[in-house]
Homo-oligomer: A and B are copies of this chain.
Amino acid sequence: MAGPSPVSPLAPKSVPAMPKIAGVKLATAAAGIRYKDRTDVLLVLLDPGTTAAGVFTRSKCPSAPVEWCRDRLKGAKPRALVVNSGNANAFTGKTGRQACQFTAQIAARAIGCKPADIFLASTGVIGEPLKAQAFDGVMDKMVGAARAEPWLDAAKAIMTTDTFPKVATARAKLGNATVTINGMAKGAGMIAPDMATMLSFVFTDAPIGARALQALLSEGVTDTFNAVTIDGDTSTSDTLMMFATGAAAELGAPRIASAGDKRLAAFRKALNAVLADLAEQVARDGEGARKLVEITVEGAVSKPSARRVAMSIANSPLVKTAIAGEDANWGRVVMAVGKAGEPADRDRLSIWFNGIRVAHKGARDPSYDEATVSKAMKSPTIALKVALGLGRGSDRVLTCDLTKEYVAINGDYRS
């Protein structure tokens, strides 16, 4: 890996104070998986009675931990989550499956539970064997040291080329009780829909059954993590997991068995806000990113059609390099609309950059003024809006610009 990059200029100005979540304790350690002088293992202890849900990469070549988690979700009684950075344990064959088994055994022995109760995630280099023995030396100590507070340390331990740790928190009323939702994520490169982050974990004390939790998470991901793309590359390791300890039942929160339960309204809103916040932070920390780009497509024949057009724009290297160059190059936007394969009519197309209409009904806007537009493009956030003029479908995705730094970061990641 290259030396640490400076913090993204798009990083949030402040980090929220992360409250405790009853039933959740965290510990980190430096196991020396790949990095020197930094933590690279996270252990999250979960009280008995915790439920779990997960959404994973749709890659046909998923990592060993993704397969491990998928296999264990049904009927799971989660007691811990172990995450390491530096090595993704992906494309590691039989050795990779053995490394999962071994890691789960080490954690289960230290905690006093079954290996099947341990969830695993790994991020980092693909194709190198993961030396799971390294966890053996740190696990007992981590179990002893786990506390309710160190959320930011946890988010730091799972970083790879991320330039800042990503956390978010929200509270919501569930019945008469106030429940808490804490989340963390790591992203940076290899970020595309079909799970847009490599790793994200969300925790709550709300007493929500596994099936309802899964439904909430699956529906929440569509317009948050799945609406973010950095480079169109889908990781083998993308993992979003959510754990609900149920501890808020003691505060009077009702036990929820179905995602259709009307009492979930505030919780659903808070959860979606946490997911959206984390997803946006992933976009703000895209490798080499200098601009956060929000792409809105209106007037499409449907929302899925609008999403595909928006993603075609968001993944176009020519659009992304133009934005890096602070060039309101609407011609390349037209190109990206055209190649999406969705219904579009050149002569009805209008395009805005940061509120300035630069193209209207298939040609340059008559009032186009280069100086005004150039000034607007200097902003670190770019709102690119496309109106197709065909129907009522609209959607929104987030991405970032494509800079020389992206190429530099990815041209010598392994060396």
A residues contacting B by CB (< 8 A) are 57-62, 88, 90-96, 125-129, 189-190, 192, 194, 231-236, 315-318, 321-322, 324-325, 327, 329-332, 334-347, 349, 359, 361-364, 402-404, 406-408, 410-415
* Partner among B61, B325, B335, B361 whose Cβ is within 8 Å of the Cβ of A93: B361
Chain A, interface SS category:
loop
Total identical chains: 2
Whether B411 pairs with A127 at a CB distance below 8 angstroms is: no
| Complex Cα spacing A329 to B106, Å | 31
* Partner among B194, B343, B410 whose Cβ is within 8 Å of the Cβ of A339: B194
Contacts of A332 in B (CB 8 A): 126, 190, 233
* Partner among B318, B322, B349, B364 whose Cβ is within 8 Å of the Cβ of A129: B364
| Complex Cα spacing A407 to B315, Å | 14
Whether B61 pairs with A334 at a CB distance below 8 angstroms is: yes
Whether A91 pairs with B316 at a CB distance below 8 angstroms is: no
Whether B331 pairs with A127 at a CB distance below 8 angstroms is: yes
Whether B339 pairs with A192 at a CB distance below 8 angstroms is: yes
Contacts of A346 in B (CB 8 A): 60-62, 91, 93
Whether A334 pairs with B364 at a CB distance below 8 angstroms is: no
The interface centre, meaning the residue of A126, A194, A361 with most chain B CB atoms within 10 A of its CB, is: A126
Whether A327 pairs with B411 at a CB distance below 8 angstroms is: yes
Chain B's closest residue to A234 (CB) is B339
Closest Cβ of chain B: how far from A213's Cβ, in Å?
A: 27
